[in-house]
Structure 1
Amino acid sequence: MKEIIIAAAAITVALGSVASAASTHHPEKRSTQVASQPKERLGTLSCEVAGGVGMIIGSNKKVSCTFKQRSGKVERYTGSIGKLGIDVGITGKTYLSWVVVNTAPTRVGEGALAGTYVGASAGASVGLGLGANALVGGNSKNFALQPLSAEAGTGLNVAAGVSRLQLSPAS
């Protein structure tokens, strides 16, 4: 099991780097650019993931997220996170936190993080659990949740595969 987690974490880093590099040649042109250079740290995205049961080949859970910009401004998002791959077990509420960087010059704020993010993930828990996720996306594929997320949760679970995070501005 330890080898699976280490291999999945290595794949996560590789996929995140490849996806980030692949999207850097599509600069977004907007009049209000806050991040003018690629790979600028924009803030931190922290999410609370609902508990649930892994369905062996996948799972889908609701998320509630807060994006705290470097300036201190806070935005709220809701959505879902799903895994396609091995996901066996039961988990309680889980917490994820990513450093948000841009992959191209972009604006920040007013729901800019909304969209779909994809990447690799791995995690395990026996009581207390740990995991890793590297995701790239957004509406213009100009954000990276990099390099790895910190994940903390409880339960009895093993998961590895491709993750998909869907975010929308909270009402």
Structure 2
Amino acid sequence: MAVTNNVDWHWLIEESGLLTLQLTEQFLFQTPFKQTELTSNCQSGSCFTTSDAFVYSLHRDKFAPLPISEEHAFTLAVCATISTNYLKPMANKSWYFKEASSDLSKPVHVGDWVSLNTSEEAIYLVLNTDTTASDVMLVSKSHRIDEQRQFKMGKPVRVHNDRLSPVYYELQEHQL
């Protein structure tokens, strides 16, 4: 008996310049990522690869226990997949965030939940890390950075590790 894969997802670059995931001929999921933010590996019409599927599945599993909707989990998993596989290297944006308390600033690992603080706190997921900085993605619905700037769910940012506070408790709905 042959096993077939019924998933035929494709990446598209819309006229707007935004990356879109084509799930079916009729259903397109527009992401917040601009073509200029992506590496040349992400071409319009390219297939959702096995590497994409693996990263997507890892993130879907990570988001499964959270008190969020299926749509929220899907959006986050797609954004995490793009950030992991196709996003160009990001400049550090540590100045947006307050330093974490020295008691809370501990080494972080890929897949850890962390919080970042401005005048308010938001939850992020560590996507990539080294000894000095980490690429993280906003998991909360939004994060007010300052009077003119607000990040939306799925936004990746690179920050120094001294800004990250590991989250050791179960995430609650009001945090997301």
Q: Give me the TM-score of the superposition, normalised by structure 1.
A: 0.28
Greater relative CO (CA pairs within 8 A, separation 6+):
1
Q: Which has the larger radius of gyration?
A: 2
Q: Give me the TM-score of the superposition, normalised by structure 2.
A: 0.27
**Whose strand proportion is higher, 1 or 2?**
1
**Whose helix proportion is higher, 1 or 2?**
2
